[in-house]
Chain A
Amino acid sequence: MRKEIKIALPTYKVLYSAAFFVILSLVRTVVYADEIGIAMEAPASALAAVFCADTYLMEIHSRRREVFRLYDEKRQARAVRRRLAAQILYLTALSALGYAMFYWQKPYDPVNAGLSETALFGISIAAIAGSIFFWGVLSMTVCNLFRNQWAGIGAALVLWTVLSSRAGDRMLGNWNAFSFTFRTIEEGMDFGWLYGKSLTILAAAVLLAMVPYILKKRG
């Protein structure tokens, strides 16, 4: 796994992703602690779509593909999944750090007294992790299908724009990928947003299961 981490997380990616969260915590205003997760979910998803796009495509860009495709298909898929896992875990850990950075703004205690700040942090990071997983896998899958990084990033960002809009919220409600962002924070114990989150995780798992097939056909 150490080698996959070094492959999937080059210095430039670490630097721009860290800068992204620093800037986000500076420019995105939050008043209550409940809003930190809301402020982070959609931007973190967009970051994941860009970050994970070249998970396999790097083999094509670096002209290693013709050697890589000689390997056993299961090992190819495992290598790609490990790289993806390294990136998703990294982005999740960075999100947790990014969450803490928002406390520079000294937000008020959560609106909903039923949730402690620790619980709110845990729930937010879990929801953000689910989003990172979905958008990362989606972007990588489209990239692999079209063998073009911009196709993957572009398609993911078009969908992101639709789903993160008010129209997306009205259309899909609790089934939206960003249902966590659109939830009513005063109703902290309403976990209806889990429907949308579960759906996106399921969709990502299906896309992930298709990795060997896509590598075989389009690799």
Chain B
Amino acid sequence: MSIKIRNLTVTFKNGVTAVNHADLEIPSGVFGLLGENGAGKTTLMRVLTTALKPTAGEVTLNGIPYSESNYNRIRSRIGYLPQEIDLYPNLTVQECLEYMGELSGVEIRECRRRIGEYLERTSLTEHRRKKMRQLSGGMKRRVGLIQALLNEPEFLIVDEPTTGLDPEERIRIRNLLVEFSENRTVLFSTHVVEDLAATCSRLAVMKKGNFLYSGSARELLGMVRGKVWDCCVSDEEAAGRLERAYLVSAKQYADSGVRLRIISEKKPQNTSACMPCEATLEDAYIYVSNRNAQTE
């Protein structure tokens, strides 16, 4: 199961190019898509769900080219959780999922079985009789995810699935996605790097319609290893100087002064207390995003 994107370009009528000659291969498993707002992630996902026709380029899903004649075949293999979706407010959770399952073509008994299973796994069983409009944002998000899973899609696309969820629920959802990704592909778009670190072995970083990085999370981490420094300065003025001179991925006020997490090829100057520290995926993301910005 893989999705191949070759030289994909999406230019809107107003002249804005949201995806610019992008190449990407998305293998089986959870694949992370990381990028700032406006990077082109949602546009890419809209192309992958067939909602948007690209201006140029090719996309294939398991060898099936994205062309109008194949859209029905492709759509039947896709599950999608958009970033924002208001599910039928007058229906109960159970009714809403049954309705969407029936529309997906899932046989009603099988649909009910799957609904029961996924409600259990997302801790929503006790809320199944509640109307959709009575649910909290996080619960609605979970129901949204279940509707995307109901037809057991080969390719699941989830846009910010953990938004509005508490930490325990986020972990449950992440685990559900990982379990679901066995022999399938899950494209997981998020701003929360921590979520990707916990779920993805491979990911891509997007910025201004281009892929700055595509590969394994381990290699991405390797790129920043030895370049992350934990520095402590006495006051805000010194911290400001460091912020202007270096990439700072975190800042914290401590008893000893101001602690900064700095990403730099060399040990930061003008500070005495600076120790190398373990790199995180977030450091790597910031490094890649800004490295490419500097070379542009």
- Residues of A whose CB lies within 8 Å of any CB of B are 3, 6-7, 10-11, 62-64, 66-73, 75-76, 79
Contacts and interface: CB of A to CB of B under 8 A. Distances in A.
Given A69-B51, A73-B72, A64 B87 contact: yes
Nearest to A62: B86
Interface residues of B, number: 30
B46 A67 contact: no
Contacts of A76: 103
B85 A64 contact: yes
Q: Binding site of A, secondary structure by majority: helix, strand, loop or mixed?
A: helix
A67 B159 CA distance: 12
Given A3-B98, A73-B72, A76-B103, A67 B91 contact: no
A17 to B, nearest CB: 16
6 contacts: A10-B90, A62-B88, A63-B82, A63-B84, A63-B86, A66-B46
B99 interface: yes
Contacts of A79: 103
A7 B103 CA distance: 14
Nearest to A68: B103
Contacts of A63: 82, 84-86
Contact of A6 (B46, B72, B91, B103): B91
Contacts of B81: 67
Contact of A75 (B49, B84, B105): B105
B229 to A, nearest CB: 43
Contacts of A66: 46, 49, 51, 80, 82
Of A62, A69, A70, A72, most B-chain CB atoms within 10 Å: A70
A10 B79 CA distance: 28
Given A7-B90, A72-B75, A75-B102, 16 more contacts: A3-B98, A3-B99, A7-B88, A62-B85, A62-B87, A66-B82, A67-B80, A67-B147, A70-B78, A70-B80, A72-B72, A72-B105, A73-B72, A75-B103, A76-B103, A79-B103
A1 to B, nearest CB: 11
Among the interface residues A7, A10, A66, A71, which one has the most CB atoms of the partner chain B within 10 A?
A66
Contacts of A72: 72, 75-76, 105
A125 to B, nearest CB: 28
B46 A64 contact: no
Contacts of B78: 70
Contacts of A62: 85-88
B90 A70 contact: no
A218 to B, nearest CB: 13
Contacts of B88: 3, 6-7, 62, 64
B90 A6 contact: yes
A145 to B, nearest CB: 18
A71 B105 contact: yes
A50 B50 CA distance: 31
B292 to A, nearest CB: 30
A75 B89 CA distance: 21
A73 B76 CA distance: 11
B152 interface: no
B23 interface: no
Contacts of B104: 70-71
Contacts of B103: 68, 71, 75-76, 79
B49 A64 contact: no
Contact of B100 (A6, A10, A67): A67
Nearest to A72: B105
A3 B95 contact: yes
Nearest to A64: B85
B105 A6 contact: no
Contact of B75 (A6, A10, A70): A70
Contacts of B49: 66, 70
A70 B155 CA distance: 12
Nearest to A76: B103
> Closest 3 A-B residue pairs measured CB to CB?
A62-B86, A71-B103, A70-B75
A82 to B, nearest CB: 11
B101 to A, nearest CB: 10
Nearest to B100: A67
Contacts of B87: 62, 64
